[in-house]
Structures are given as structure tokens and as C-alpha cells.
Structure 1
Amino acid sequence: MTDSVPCYHCGLPAVDGDKYNASVLGQERQMCCPGCQAVAQAIVENGLDDYYRFRTEPGVKASDNIQDTLDQLSIFDEQSIQQDFVVHQGDISEIQLSLSGISCAACGWLIEKQLSKVSGIKQVSVNVTANRALISWYSDALSLSQIMASIERIGYHPSPFQQEQHEALFQQSHKAQLKRIGLAGLMTMQVMMLAIGVYFDLFGDLERETSSFFNWVSLVLSTPVVFYSGAGFYQSAFKALRAKSVNMDVPVSIALLATYFSGVWATVFEQGQVYFESVCMFIFLLLVSRFIEHQARHKAAQISANMLQYIPLTANLMVENEIQPTLAKSLQLDDIILVKAGETVPIDGTVLSGHAQVDESLLTGEFYPVNKTVGDAAYGGTINKSGTLTLKVTSQFKYALVNQIARLQEQAMANKPRIATMADQFSQYFVVAVLFFAFGSFIYWWLQGDPDAFWIAISVLIATCPCALGLATPSALSFAMANLNKQGVLLKRSDVLEQLTQVDHIVLDKTGTLTEGEVSVAAIHNISSFDDETLLTYAHSVEQYSEHPIAKAFEAYPVFSGVEAFCFTLGEGVSAKVNHKHVEISAAHSRDLPNEPALKSSSVLMHIDGELVCGFELSDTLRPDVPDMLLRMSRKDITLLSGDNQKNVSQIASDIGISNWLAQQTPQDKLAYVQKLQANEHSVLMIGDGINDAPVLAQADVAVTLGAGADLAKSSADIILLKNALGKLPDVFIVARRCKQKIRQNMAWALGYNMLVLPLAMSGVLTPWMAVIGMSLSSIIVVVNSVRLLK
């Protein structure tokens, strides 16, 4: 019986011969089934056949009846199914998908390229390490089933991301890594025992036959280590070479295979040196260093993104004053739930009754319990330390705060900082240099007649492997972001840490940023025939539809029932039709004030049917952590920009010691001010929280907003302070500086080590086993140095 040809797509035997074929890379390739044939044809038809050049492992076997699989995906278009895992923001939808079948970076490349060709896709980012994809699309142009079908057609199996499933996939990968490490470690010990005995003459003068026997035993023990434990290195190197590129696994693979096969030759022909112990030790230590890195990054990712594990599966639903246990994810808006002492809050809600202290450290990083009473907001994942709370559900499970944080973290990690990109590019050039020096060393010593020329070249390849260089930047960034998450600081872009170190000018908003946002009406300056109570009622009737902090000043007053045609104009104010009267409320700077001394101190003006009727003088309370924050950041230039009147702004500026301030600033004024600073080569950080701050936040080099800020401000911000704690801002700068220092230290160590060890290796001072230990320790030192950012 003749052996069957392996399927070109999945690698399984093509038992039906050439029944299923597909033209790939200019040649007819045999497939094992119609499923693999359909997948290969779909890849080629979409112009993505470079996947077969880049991949390091065969693809997963496709379904024999792929059409049935595609037909089954239509169920994911049902709204009742989507409500648990699809987030809708206007006409844009977003989902996280778990992807099975991913084996290497080429798989992630293929999926991103395939989806980018689909009309209606807004953004797609594949995290190969986590086997996940973050996808956003225009829901009116594309359905979820079409997206999933596009992924299925190229041989991968998508499913909505679920924390339990993702953790199971990680544990599966974790076990596979441990098996490779365990085998390598066990065999390394055996081979090292034999090698040490020979090197130090522990067995006395060995006869030639005994020495040959030891070599054969070492060869047998080393073979599974080389071809099982080390398989990932060769696959990665092969992928790079087929793509006409190089990566750090190229010199590693050359060194491993060259050392192994030279040992095989020496064992068979009984002449020359064997370094089986060095091969095994190299693979073992390299696997250990990469395992430590993966474990550390997984820990950082758990701190940042895997908050869903803290959400309980069940909740106490109140139905007609009776408790009914129910699934937390099935809770609906306005459901009433009971949270007892010691229980975790299952979903975001508002306290209807009860009093308790709640641990919100998961979200804010603050470990002091927060008092919760009637009217306060409680968030899913926080822990009720004492008392009993009755909550009214205010958001669906997928829109809960912990889910929002997880999504933002996924988006943040999808952005690669410039320094990381530069490091990736530099490492490629460095690998080429390593190969050049290794080859040059071999030629030089060979021409000198040195019998160790080959081993000197191997030592150069091993000792100067740029693994530490590749870990220098991503490991530091991951741990820095995890540290900030623990403190209640959420970064929407990982590259913002790099930009923070360049900031030299800070611009602050006042109302709701420096102040508590608990605005109250200090005085009303009435110049109309209406009484004060009526004017306050008109004001609240309009402001009740606004989310600006100023609107809170009128919450204590009654409203009229007939309110129509509410309108918000950025930088101008709000208006509505109340009792058939057109009411406009605007900041005092947006209109020329009449010659009315009583109105000069007004923060807000109100017009009824086009006639100015009154001005409201507002007051606010300074946030308690502002003075300390400004003191710690006194080395930077600070400017206060506010839309409030001169009197209020000057008073606040005087209280907190800011000499550079401007009052009655429109959003356009603030934007122009920041643009002027940037034109003068300043790097600007802007802190704001209102809708009117969104344009200037978008313009700033780094934008910061508060957790209680307007949604539009959050969408424009790079950093969100979850507990409105401005006092955390100096800590963000400290972490950013430390991260930059760690990256520089890592890069300096990686480059310094290589520059130091290169002449030693080229001169023949380092033996292969010395090079193995040095290279592995170099990588471990980089990871351990980065882990210190968690403290």
C-alpha cells in the first residue's frame, strides 16, 4: 500500500488521492476533503495565498460540509442571541470573538486581511497570543453571521468570547508548554549527568567503546527534545524565511540543528565533539524564559482585562417582594435585585433602599470601602462589605462598567507604540548582523586551521540571540498598563505612555474637573417681570435634558410638564420650548452682556422669547486632591481655561496657586489656545470632563477625563480616571517615566550584553554551553526587570 500524500492545508493524509485539488502558489495541491479544498480556494480567490508562505504549522481540518456550517451561523443574527455579547454604539457594533485553529502569527495576518476585504468592516484586530479578535462593523451594512462566515471560509472557527472558554483555551496552551518544558528538563538532566561524568573524568579513563556508548545514549535522549520541545523555534524560523525575512528564531534554529546534527555525525563516525547537553539545556532554558514571559503577560492581561471573572453567575431578583435566583446576564433594565452583605454586585444599578459599604477596588484601585445609600450608583463586580442593598438595574450586562473597561483595554493593546515598532524593526537588522558575524567567525577560524571553527560560530549564534531585545518593550508596556489599572487609571492607548514622557504643558478645565461638579445656584440676578421661582422652574425644565455639570445646579427646583424641541449647541448652550415659550440658557461669555452691573458676575444667562431675563451666579466646591496634584506637578507649565466668569475663575486660580488662567473661554477659544501651544512646539496634556471639552481633548497630545465625565469626553480621551481622582495623575506620569526607564534599561541590557559577549564568542572564549546560559539569563533578566513595574 502506497503512502498517501498529506493534505496541503491541514497536513492529514489525503486518502482519496488527487480527488480534491486546489491551485496554491502556482501549483496544484492535493487536499484531504472538500472542506479543505473550499478553504484553500477561498484563501487564493481573496488574494491571500501568502498565508501558505508565512504559516509555521498546518491549518485545522475544515468541515467536510462547510456550507452546512455557514448556514448554521445565521442564528447569531438573532437579537436575543446578540444581546449578551454584541455592543451597539449607534450604527456601529462591536464584538470579541474567540478563534480556534490559530497556530501562528500568519493566522492572525490571514484573518485580518480577509476581514479587511469585507465591505462594512470598520476595524479588526487579532490577538494571536490570546486567540481572540476585536471586530467593529457598520450594522446597517453587514450582519454578524456574514463576518463569522468570512472567518469560517478560511478555516478558522469563531465564537463569541466567553471568559470561561478563553481561560480553558489558555490552560490548554499552558499544559502544552509545560509538557515541552518538562520533557526538555527531564532529558537535559540525564544528558548533563553523562556529560559531567565525561568532562570531569568521574568514571575514570573511559574506553573508546564506553565513550561511544555514552554518546549514543545522549543522542537518543536529546532527539525528542530537539524535535518535540524545540519544534516551535523551527516552525517560526521557517515561516520567516519563506516570507523572505528573518526573526530571532532563525539563528536559534540554525544553532540547534547544526549542533545536533554535528553531534549525530560525531557519534556515528566516532570522531569530533558532541554538545548534546548544550542543545538540551539551550532548548530548556529558552522555553523556560519564554514561559515566564507568557505567564507574566497573562497575569498583566488578567489584571487589565479579565474583570468578568469577578461577576457572579447568579443574582437575587425581587419579584413581588419574593427573591428568585436568576442568571446575572439575563437581568433586564429596571429589574429590582437584592445584594446581601458579603455578596458581589452582579450588575450596574442604582440604590433604591438600604445602606452599605462597598469595596470598589476592582474598578478604582482604592481599597477603602465606599458608603452607598439611596440614589447612589453601584457597579457590577464590586463587593458589598456590610448591610443590604436593593438595586434597580440601570444597564444591560454587556454595557456594565467592567465590560466597558475590558473592551477599552482590548482596544488599547491593539495599538503598538512607536518605540515597539522601532524595536521590532531593529531586531530584524540585528538578526542579520548576528548571522553575518557567525558566518564571518567560521570563515576566519577555518582559514586559520582551527578545528573549533564550527563551534565558535555556533557559540556566536547562541550567545547573541536577540530574544531579550524582542522582549524589552512589550513586557514593560504590559506591566505598566496593569499597574495603572490596579490604581483605577484606564488607558485607551498603550502608546500614550510614551507620549506622557514628552508632555511639558498641562491645560485644565474648571467646572466638573478641578471642582466637584456639584454646582449650585449662589444667586439669581433677575431683570424681568417673572418672579425668581418661575425663572428657576424654566431653567430646570430645559436643563433636565442636559448632561453638563451646570445642569445639576437646577435639580432642586420644579419643572414644567410641556417641554419640547430640546436642542444642544456645542459652546453655545441649550434651548427648548417650554409652555410655548422659547427658552435659551447659555454661558455668559457667549453673548454680549448688556450694561447691567448686576449681571457682571453671572455664569449663565437665560433668554425667554429672545429677551434677556436673568443671570445665574453659580458656585462649586474644589476637589480635595487638587492642591496636592498641582504641587506634585509644579515642574510643568499649567494653564486654567474655563468658560466661567472672571470672578469665579480668578478666585479658584488664586486658591490653588495657578497664575496662568483665562476665563469666559468658548470651546473654540480652548481649542485655539491648545493649537497655539502646539505650534510653539509644546506637548500638551488636556484635562476636561464636559461635552464642550471634547474638541480640545481630541486636539491635545494626551487627553485625560474623569470617570464621571460626559460620554463624548470619554470617547475623545486617552486616559480615564475611573474614580474622578485627579490625585492619581502624577502617578500616571511616574509610571510612564518608569516604563520608559525600564524600556531603556532592557534595551541597554540586551544590546550591552550582546556587544560584550560577541567578541568573547568570536574569539573562542565562550563554549556553546556558556553561551546557552548567558543568552537565557539575559532574557529572564529583561522580563524580571519589567515585572517590577507592577509594584
Structure 2
Amino acid sequence: MCCPGCQAVAEAIVNNGLEDYYRFRTQFADKGDEKLTETLDSLQAYDHAEIQQEFVVDDGTQKQIQLTIEGISCAACGWLIEKQLLKTPGIKRIAVNVSARRATVNWNDSELKLSEIIRKLEFIGYHALPFQADEHEASFLRESRSFLKRIGLSGLMTMQVMMLAIGLYFGIFGSIDDVTKRFFHWVSLLLTTPVVLYSGFTFYRSAVNSLKLRTLNMDISVSIAIWGTYLASAWGTISNSGEIYFESVCMFIFLLLISRFLEHRARHQASLISANMFKYIPLTATQVDENNKQTSVLAKHLLPGQTILVKPGETFPVDGVVKSGSGNVDESMLTGESEPIQKNIHSQVYGGTINVNGSFVIEVMNELKLSLVNKILRLQELALSDKPKAAVYADTASRYFIIIVLIITLLSYIAWWMYQPDRAFWVAISILVATCPCALSLATPSALTSAIAKLNQYGLLVKRANVIDVIPEITTVIFDKTGTLTQGHFSISNIEIFNGYSESFAIELAAGIEQYSQHPIAKAFSQNSAASVEQVSTVPGKGLQGLYQEKAVRIGNLDILSVQLPSCVDLDDARIYLQWGNDLVAAFTVKDVIKTDAKQLVSKLSNKNLVMLSGDAEKNATSVAASLGITNVLFRKSPEQKLAYIQGLQSQGTKVLMVGDGINDAPVLAGADVSIAVGDASDMAKRSADIIMLTPKLENIDVAISMAIKVRAKIKQNMAWAIGYNALILPLAVAGYLTPWMAVVGMSLSSIVVVVNSVRLLR
């Protein structure tokens, strides 16, 4: 038996004496509609919590899922899906990434079930399933094979029909009598029919879905052009009168399919740079129980708190914290940096990175679906669906352009019918074909997808694609100091003790309260044993406060203290003060080191107004700024003061880029026009930032700025080409200077030029 279920059924049949039914029956039992039942069952299965656990993220208020969507052909498809699903009660957000053929959906499970969302997509003409790397790749291959079959058929038939058409046009076959010409026309009709019915089917399906939902897309004009030319040529063959353009029909479908396929491949190539992170995740992991027994388990079933063993040369299956062991880890798949990073006890490791030469026992931090790799991909999907202004304008323009073209086509047909009736129809067809707005719709998304994918190679994760609009306009760059321009690796260089306390007590008490902080200064105390401090809370811009042995304990700058300091105490605002109860316990002097590439970044950004906005003391801030060549320094600033400073600049029309890393920087990062969270930034800073740096290399900030400028230039080039082409070709088509085959070649070349120009950003 293949499983216990089959065995149980077989035993029930035998035990009840029903086996004779199978022995003596003459035919199989009747079955219902298998396909319908299978479809309904498969959709309803997605509502089970056990199945959703693998690919649905639940934050307690909403659920989020990434869906692979088959059948997306252009930006109009994404717009259509978003508009239709947002009408459904329970859908809180829908963001479609046309380039990757994926949609990110947020919904309220109490109002709407996942199966109903997928059923809604099926209704409007798109097949959807939960995104899984392997299945998504299989979906891409299925669509690619379908494209190639349609292209192959249309290409083969186009060659045959073109051969006959050239012979008829240019007399290559010599003097051909009417009977032979009619025979060639009938052969052309026979060869063109499968191209129209099979190869062009994808355009008709998209057009019908669009009309069903009372909207317009470019495939409507494409479908009208194909069927109009085909039916007119078929009637000309049957009636032996009029113009016949079977070669134009075949060529139109063939070249349009090629341009769509190139776009399909280009989108996939760009999305693979990030999506391929999944290929680094191993299928299984070695779990270690309390008795040190090792068991092989599926990586996707690992839960927080469980322990796994990762041997040298193996790949980390999930995110975790090192419990024992040390060695080098290759994190190039996340950061783009080939240099291995040393990992020791308490270091964080990430799924997909490679254990180079150590043996690690890891405590699992997150399930696989909540791992850093998955977070990166979810953020990128949202970024690519968060369109910049240029993309919104292009999508809107293409829809209005279709309406305008249809109106112009109708008016041109009427005018030509009054002037030269026998040419009216073919002029209208040429207008529809030549002005198909494929290039206009591709101009922005193709460039944007390529740019974001390229930035990922540099370890730059873009959360909002519309920052591409703003970055080229940035005039002021503001840096936090600690952890941004400096390494944030503090060490205690001096301790001054007060009121008779011991140095060991002061360090233990400081370590006890600082262990609750994510501020880089807290790391200076992390190597020491810690006292049990309770009820710790952060006082923004000042420090920390808590409770130890029923007495208040405070640590931070001078502003955190609540005691009157004796005159003998050196009031140096660059030091860290520790208070317990009503006593000043100690003052710590800590030191930090400037990042090696900070000066290089400052030099590259010398054409902008550079500001250091720090909460640190004047002595420390001015020292770092002077060594880097930053003349505009603001120190001892609280988060509220930092935000007020940025808002003051913005009120004057200044576009501000903020670079930071800490919890205190979160309000400022959120308030800036564009914000970047560096290397080891806190989770709060990453949530507030527009761009997250997965690598500590500061010079990549200049890469982000340069790429944004390049993207804007590419989009302008693509838009200029698309608009210029249509502005040139439309008058020629209306004037009757274009035949259908000329229009076909022009339209296809314009789309290919846009895609190729955008893909150059990946180089």
C-alpha cells in the first residue's frame, strides 16, 4: 500500500465482503466533473491554517501573501488586477509587480478567505497560486514554452506566406496566371489560419478580459487589427477581389510575440537577481535535541528556539544566533561582498549564507517564511509595485492613448471612405498596428525593474520605487554619526568611580541596563557580566532608565541624571554617566573608530550640502566631522530636534537625504524625502527607511544616487523614443503612406528598442 489511507480503505472493503463488486463489474463506475471538483478542492485547501503556515505572513491584524500570477502581459494587466481586487471587501492592499508576475495581497481573514481571492483572480482571467520559488520558476518555464510554441508556429508560417507574397508582389515566379494567384492566396489562407487562431490567442484573451471589466488595454487594438486584416484578406481570397495581406497578419503576430517574449525574458532576468536568493536555501537541516541527537528535518518546518548544527561547507537553512562555535561565513548572496565575515558566539547568521570553515550550533530565530531572504523579497515586490510618477503617468497615458488612437482610426476610416473607399480599411488597420502603445507601457517598468535588480547586487534593498523620482533632486545629505560614519564598535577607554563604589560593580550595573539597548554604545559593555536590572525603558536622546534592587538606575548623558553633581565631577558631555538611587556611581569614557570608506563617500558627495546631525557630544561630533571634512555639524540633538531641523530645510524647498542606523534615527528617516538605513541598523530604522543597506560599505550610497540618475535618464530616453515614434508614425499612417507590413515592423522595433535600452542597466 502507498499509504495508511489506502490500507484502511482496502481493509474496510474486504472486511465488509464488498470485494466481489470489483471482481465482477463490467465497467468502471461513473465519475463526476473531475476538473471542477479538483479546482474547488484545491482552492478551498488554501484556507486551512496548516497549509497557509508555509506561505502566509500573519501580523495579528492582517494576513499577507505573495501570489504568482500567470497571464500578465503588460502594465495594463497589473492595473486591471489591482482595480478589480480592491473592490472586494476584505482586501486591504494589492500590489502587482508586472515584471516578476507576482502580486502581494494584504487581507482581513475574517472578511475574506484566501480561496475567494484566488477565485476572483480566476474570474477576471488570471491563474494564481501562492508564490513558491520552485513553482514560480516552473510557471515561468510553462509560459516560456507556450511563447516559444506560438512563436515557432507563427515564424514557420510567416516564412512560407512571405515567400508566396514576395513572389506575387515582385513577380519572382514570372508571369503568373489568375488561377495560380488564387491558388497561392488559398494556400496563404490555410497557412495563416492556425497563426491567427493559436499564436494570436493570448492577445484576444487579454482583450476580452479587459472588455469584460469595462476597461481598455493595448490588446484590444491589436486584436481588432489582426482579425480585421485576416477577415478582409479571407474575404478577398473567397471573392477574388480586394487587397490581401496574409503576410502582414503573420508578421504582426510573429514580431509582436517576439517583442513580448523578449520583455518576458528581460523581466525574468531582472527579477531573478533577487528571487534566486531562494536557490541558496537548503531543503533540509540537521536538528539537535536536548540529548545531542541529530535528526534531518525539512528547513521550512524549523521553529524559533530549536537548535540546528551547520557543518563546514554547508549552507545555513534559516536565520539564527550562534550558541557555540566560530568561523567565517560567506554572506555574498546578501551583501555582494566576497570577503568572509567572522562569526562567534551570539553572532547572527542568515539563511542562505555559507559556512566557510567553522562548525556552528545555531538557535533558530525565525521561521523560514520570516527569514531575512523572504523579507528582502517581500520588500522588493512592494517596491516594484510602488510606481514612481513616471510609471503612473505612462500607464495613464497609454490608456488614454488607446482611446485617442481608436477615435483617430475611426475618423480616418470615414475620411478615407469619402475620398478613396478601397483604401479606407487598410489605412485604418495600419494606424491600429503602427500606434500600438507597447513601447510607451514598457518605458518605465522595464528600466525600473532592471535598476532595482542591479542595486540588489550591491546589497541595496529599495523599499519604495518612487524614491527614484526624488534622489536626483537631492541637494542636502544628512548623516548620523555613531554607527553610520563611525564603526559603532565602542570600547571603554577610561572609568571614573564616585561615592566609594567599586569598578566591578559599576561595570556590572552598566552592563545590566545596557543589555536592553540596541545603541552601538551598549556594545562597549556587552563583554562583561551583567546585573539583573528590571523595567528598563529608553529615554530618547538621553539614555536608559530601569530598576535594580528597588532603586532607580540611569545611564546616559548629563540630561539623564536626576542628582546634583558635586563640584569635583568633570562635566564632560562626551562621557557616559551611571546613577543608582541618589548616587552618581561612575563616568565612562568610550571611544569609536571612523569607517575606512567614510572620507571617500564625503569626497564623492562634495557637490552636495553635507550635514552631520548627531545626538553625541560636541567634542566627539566635531572631531569626527573635522577628520572627514564636513563643515556643517549639529550636536546634542534629540530625535525631535533632528526632525525639526529636517522639516525646516524641507519648508525652504530643500530635498533631503538622511543616512542613519539607530532607533533614535527612525523619526528622522521617516521624515526625510529619501532615507537610507546602513549595515547593522536597528529594526525600527529599517522599517522607517526607503533603502536598506545589507552591506556596511558606505560608498554604495553613491551607487544608489548614481543609479537613480541613470534610471531617470533611461526613462526619459524610453519615453522620448516611444512618444517620438508614435508622433512620427501616426501622421504617416493617417496619410496612407504605411502599408500594414510596414506598420508591423515599426511597432515591433519600437518595443524592442525600449526593452534593450532598459536591460543595459543590468550591465
Q: TM-score, normalization: structure 2?
A: 0.87
What does residue range 275-354 of structure 1 map to in structure 2 within 5 Å?
A: 275-318=245-288, 320=291, 323-352=294-323
2:237 corresponds to 1:267: yes
CA contact (8 A) 1:509 1:640 kept: yes
CA contact (8 A) 1:108 1:128 kept: no
**Tell me, what secondary structure is at the counterpart of 1:738?**
helix
Q: In the aligned structure 1, how far is the partner of 2:325 from the partner of 2:213?
A: 64
**Tell me, what secondary structure is at the counterpart of 2:297?**
strand
For 1:485-504, what per-residue CA distance to the aligned partner results, in whole angstroms no more than 9, with x for missing partners? Answer: 11111011111212212211
Identify the match of residue 671 of structure 2 among 681, 689, 699: 699
**Tell me, what secondary structure is at the counterpart of 1:605?**
strand
**Tell me, what secondary structure is at the counterpart of 2:570?**
helix
**Tell me, what secondary structure is at the counterpart of 1:368?**
coil
Q: In the aligned structure 1, how far is the partner of 2:590 from the partner of 2:60?
A: 35
Which one-letter code corresponds to 1:663 in the other structure? F
Q: In the aligned structure 1, how far is the partner of 2:80 from the partner of 2:727?
A: 35
Structure 2: gaps (5+ residues): 1-31
Q: CA 1:72/1:342 → structure 2, altered by over 3 Å: closer, same or farther?
A: closer
2:761 corresponds to 1:761: no
For 1:615-659, what per-residue CA distance to the aligned partner results, in whole angstroms no more than 9, with x for missing partners? Answer: 333211111111111111111111101111110001000010000
How big is the shift at 1:144? 9.9
**Residue aligning to 1:629:** 601
How big is the shift at 1:745? 0.5
**Residue aligning to 2:216:** 246
How big is the shift at 1:336? 4.2
Q: CA 1:512/1:647 → structure 2, altered by over 3 Å: closer, same or farther?
A: same
**Residue aligning to 2:505:** 534
Q: CA 1:608/1:371 → structure 2, altered by over 3 Å: closer, same or farther?
A: closer
**Residue aligning to 1:400:** 371
2:85 corresponds to 1:112: yes
Which one-letter code corresponds to 1:766 in the other structure? L
2:67 corresponds to 1:94: no
How big is the shift at 1:273? 1.8
**Tell me, what secondary structure is at the counterpart of 1:670?**
helix
Identify the match of residue 606 of structure 1 among 557, 561, 578: 578
For 1:374-431, what per-residue CA distance to the aligned partner results, in whole angstroms no more than 9, with x for missing partners? Answer: 5543321123344544444333322222111112112222312221111111122322
**Residue aligning to 2:754:** 782
Of structures 1 and 2, the one scoring higher in RCO (CA 8 A, sep 6+) is 2
**Tell me, what secondary structure is at the counterpart of 1:283?**
helix
**Residue aligning to 1:742:** 714
**Residue aligning to 1:477:** 448
Q: CA 1:771/1:107 → structure 2, altered by over 3 Å: closer, same or farther?
A: closer
**Tell me, what secondary structure is at the counterpart of 2:241?**
coil
How big is the shift at 1:674? 0.5
Q: CA 1:696/1:364 → structure 2, altered by over 3 Å: closer, same or farther?
A: same
CA contact (8 A) 2:56 2:64 kept: yes
Q: CA 1:227/1:106 → structure 2, altered by over 3 Å: closer, same or farther?
A: farther
Which one-letter code corresponds to 1:701 in the other structure? D
CA contact (8 A) 1:526 1:532 kept: yes
2:193 corresponds to 1:220: no
**Tell me, what secondary structure is at the counterpart of 2:517?**
coil
Q: CA 1:604/1:480 → structure 2, altered by over 3 Å: closer, same or farther?
A: same
Q: CA 1:185/1:336 → structure 2, altered by over 3 Å: closer, same or farther?
A: same
**Tell me, what secondary structure is at the counterpart of 1:96?**
strand
For 1:112-145, what per-residue CA distance to the aligned partner results, in whole angstroms no more than 9, with x for missing partners? Answer: 2365x12xx643435577665433456xxx4598
Q: CA 1:629/1:106 → structure 2, altered by over 3 Å: closer, same or farther?
A: closer
Q: In the aligned structure 1, how far is the partner of 2:641 from the partner of 2:282?
A: 48
Q: In the aligned structure 2, how far is the partner of 1:269 from the partner of 1:639?
A: 79
CA contact (8 A) 2:310 2:359 kept: yes
**Residue aligning to 1:664:** 636
How big is the shift at 1:566? 1.7
CA contact (8 A) 2:489 2:524 kept: yes
Which one-letter code corresponds to 1:770 in the other structure? M
Which one-letter code corresponds to 1:600 in the other structure? D
How big is the shift at 1:262? 1.7
| Higher alpha-carbon deviation: 359-368 or 587-596 | 587-596
**Residue aligning to 2:334:** 363
What does residue range 38-49 of structure 1 map to in structure 2 within 5 Å?
A: none
Q: In the aligned structure 2, how far is the partner of 1:239 from the partner of 1:65?
A: 21
CA contact (8 A) 1:490 1:719 kept: yes
How big is the shift at 1:301? 1.5
2:393 corresponds to 1:412: no
Which one-letter code corresponds to 1:256 in the other structure? I
For 1:218-248, what per-residue CA distance to the aligned partner results, in whole angstroms no more than 9, with x for missing partners? Answer: 1111112122222232333344455554332
CA contact (8 A) 1:589 1:664 kept: no
Q: CA 1:381/1:143 → structure 2, altered by over 3 Å: closer, same or farther?
A: farther
Q: In the aligned structure 2, how far is the partner of 1:301 from the partner of 1:508?
A: 31
How big is the shift at 1:724? 2.3
Q: CA 1:574/1:62 → structure 2, altered by over 3 Å: closer, same or farther?
A: farther
Q: CA 1:413/1:550 → structure 2, altered by over 3 Å: closer, same or farther?
A: same
CA contact (8 A) 1:525 1:615 kept: yes
Which one-letter code corresponds to 2:753 in the other structure? I
**Tell me, what secondary structure is at the counterpart of 1:598?**
coil
2:193 corresponds to 1:193: no
- Count of residues in correspondence between the two structures: 723
How big is the shift at 1:667? 0.5
CA contact (8 A) 2:78 2:97 kept: no
CA contact (8 A) 1:350 1:392 kept: yes
| Higher alpha-carbon deviation: 652-661 or 619-628 | 619-628
Q: CA 1:359/1:751 → structure 2, altered by over 3 Å: closer, same or farther?
A: same
**Residue aligning to 1:47:** none
For 1:152-182, what per-residue CA distance to the aligned partner results, in whole angstroms no more than 9, with x for missing partners? Answer: 5886797643222222222222222222222
Q: In the aligned structure 1, how far is the partner of 2:122 from the partner of 2:450?
A: 34
CA contact (8 A) 1:112 1:126 kept: no
What does residue range 569-588 of structure 1 map to in structure 2 within 5 Å?
A: 569-588=539-558
Q: In the aligned structure 2, how far is the partner of 1:591 from the partner of 1:660?
A: 29
How big is the shift at 1:352? 4.9
Q: CA 1:424/1:659 → structure 2, altered by over 3 Å: closer, same or farther?
A: same
What does residue range 62-141 of structure 1 map to in structure 2 within 5 Å?
A: 63=37, 76-78=48-50, 83-89=53-59, 91-97=61-67, 108-109=81-82, 112-113=85-86, 115=88, 117-118=89-90, 122-126=92-96, 132-136=102-106
Q: CA 1:164/1:533 → structure 2, altered by over 3 Å: closer, same or farther?
A: same
Q: In the aligned structure 1, how far is the partner of 2:407 from the partner of 2:481?
A: 60
**Residue aligning to 2:430:** 459
For 1:335-364, what per-residue CA distance to the aligned partner results, in whole angstroms no more than 9, with x for missing partners? Answer: 443434443222223445555443322111
**Tell me, what secondary structure is at the counterpart of 2:485?**
coil
How big is the shift at 1:91? 5.0
Q: In the aligned structure 2, how far is the partner of 1:555 from the partner of 1:421?
A: 49
CA contact (8 A) 1:625 1:725 kept: yes
Which one-letter code corresponds to 1:267 in the other structure? T
Q: In the aligned structure 1, how far is the partner of 2:422 from the partner of 2:69?
A: 51
2:660 corresponds to 1:688: yes
CA contact (8 A) 1:445 1:453 kept: yes
**Tell me, what secondary structure is at the counterpart of 2:473?**
coil
Q: In the aligned structure 2, how far is the partner of 1:326 from the partner of 1:718?
A: 37
CA contact (8 A) 1:101 1:155 kept: no
For 1:647-694, what per-residue CA distance to the aligned partner results, in whole angstroms no more than 9, with x for missing partners? Answer: 000100001000001110001110100100110111111111111111
Q: TM-score, normalization: structure 1?
A: 0.84
CA contact (8 A) 1:587 1:643 kept: no
Which one-letter code corresponds to 1:539 in the other structure? A
How big is the shift at 1:255? 2.1
